[in-house]
Structure 1
Amino acid sequence: MISGPKPEWLTFDCYGTLIQWDEGLLAAVEQILAKHPGSDVDPETLIRVYDKYEHALEAERPHKSFRVVAREGLRLAMEELELAYTSDDIEILTGSISRMPPFPEVVAALGELKAQGFKLCIVSNTDDDIIAGNVAQLGGHIDRVVTAQQAGAYKPTQQIFDFAHDALGLGRSDVVHICASPHLDLAAARDLGFRCIWIDRGTGRKPLPDYAPNAVFPTLDCVPPFLSSANWG
């Protein structure tokens, strides 16, 4: 169930929710590892170690751009795994992000939500120039994009969500956030108290043990009929 007033705005996580992040990251890492034919490091291991460094770097102050975070995270991960790092490796990674496509149902689902009268905003842990290529693939349905670069902070911090809500002229209770990341977006919904729909795409990411989102669906196309039938207070 979802209660409260009908929102004017819906906010979205981008990568993993709208855009095929896991698939695109795997392809980029496989391309990087292909340059090291003698290594026994598998793509899943490099991704796991990279993620560890990426999240740690995003929490550091002062704020670092995502390009810097990705570069340092990949370098540290490859050093830990005894792989020779070159500048070409980070170009493979960051260059692939903008080209990552939406999930098959996403553009049509966003169109349905626009037809229902909602305004749509992305809140994403990235830089403006990186996400521009992804937004261009979303059918012209996105009204606003808020990035970590603009806010000077990454999810799940309060700062980026406060920045987004202030930019939209809204309070936390005035939006519904739609996301796929438990440790970033669901954690923020739990701590900050905004309404949240989790898109659980079967990636193996686990829900938080101390928080239940307002609704859970496997794909984004389940959201328009759910919101159209909601009894808004």
Structure 2
Amino acid sequence: MRWVTFDCFGTLIDWRHGIRTSAELIAPGQGARLLEAYNRHEHAVQAESPAVRYRHVLAEALRRACEEEKVELGADDATVLAETLPYWPVFPDVAAELSALREAGWRLALLTNCDRDLIAQTRRRLPVPFEAVVTAEDAGAYKPSDAHFELFRSSYEPEVWVHAAQSYFHDMEPAHRLGLPRVWINRHGARPSDPSIVPHELPGLGGLLAAVETAAAPS
């Protein structure tokens, strides 16, 4: 019963590409600006309404981003992110590295700040199967709350458990609070405010199996 849990968007799915190109559909030439503005608003929306569906979060954060950047948003355009999310691209390193984990006997799970229906559509694009999924809809909260992690622990009782994710704030910090072995997938070369929180770091999924087994080894 060895498990690796993953965040999905940003770790396995190219979340930034998805938001940027989706924003281009409603505001050509403004995708990069709206992506950065969206990033500034999403967590605030989640913190204000932790039980609301992720579809609402996507729409409201995009509305606020457009208002901040003075980009006109059509009446029906705020739904564009939820509508395109199932087609956001999978990172090219996902198939080989997750397959290697499965072949080595690790079970895979997703802990995602997403709705059940949206992640179900996304899973059809992921090249390997996952044995478990915990969504924000299931947990009644958004990461960096501990709720996803606690629900996974109580539901599956993992004997060995490593968490791997791209977001330092949403994933590495709560995994650290809970004492979980963890691997930071630092796709954007970010600098952690506390390097001790991320003892195992990779620039992508390359070498993930070795990093996971090192993280899981008894200290």
Q: How does 1:72-221 map to 2 (within 5 A)?
A: 72-170=60-158, 174-201=160-187, 203-209=188-194, 211-221=196-206
1:62–1:199 Cα change, 3 Å: closer
1:62–1:231 Cα change, 3 Å: closer
Counterpart CA distance in 2 for 1:210 and 1:221 is 21
Q: TM-score, normalised by structure 1?
A: 0.84
1:62–1:124 Cα change, 3 Å: closer
- Rg bigger for which structure? 1
Q: Identity across aligned pairs (percent)?
A: 33
- Supply the RMSD in Å over aligned alpha carbons: 2.2
Q: CA deviation at 1:138?
A: 1.9
Q: TM-score, normalised by structure 2?
A: 0.89
Counterpart CA distance in 2 for 1:103 and 1:82 is 32
In structure 2, the partner of 1:21 is: 15
Counterpart CA distance in 2 for 1:50 and 1:100 is 16
Q: Do the aligned residues in 2 keep the contact of 1:182 with 1:208 (CA within 8 Å)? A: no
1:192–1:232 Cα change, 3 Å: closer
Counterpart CA distance in 1 for 2:206 and 2:48 is 36
Q: CA deviation at 1:198?
A: 0.7
Q: CA deviation at 1:120?
A: 0.3
Q: Do the aligned residues in 1 keep the contact of 2:161 with 2:216 (CA within 8 Å)? A: no
Q: CA deviation at 1:230?
A: 7.1
SS in 2 for 1:221: coil
Gaps of 5+ in 1: 1-6
Q: Which moved more, 1:178-187 or 1:214-223?
A: 214-223
Counterpart CA distance in 2 for 1:101 and 1:205 is 22
Cα deviation digits, residues 180-221 of structure 1 (max 9, x gap) = 1111111112222211101111x2433232533231112213
Q: CA deviation at 1:231?
A: 7.9
Counterpart CA distance in 2 for 1:87 and 1:131 is 25
Counterpart CA distance in 2 for 1:231 and 1:176 is 6
The one-letter code of the counterpart of 1:84 is E
1:46–1:120 Cα change, 3 Å: same
1:143–1:47 Cα change, 3 Å: same
SS in 2 for 1:211: helix
Aligned length: 218
Q: Which moved more, 1:137-146 or 1:148-157?
A: 137-146
SS in 1 for 2:108: strand
1:131–1:194 Cα change, 3 Å: same
Cα deviation digits, residues 64-117 of structure 1 (max 9, x gap) = 110111111111221233222224322321122111121112012111111111
Q: Do the aligned residues in 2 keep the contact of 1:157 with 1:188 (CA within 8 Å)? A: yes
Counterpart CA distance in 1 for 2:197 and 2:173 is 10
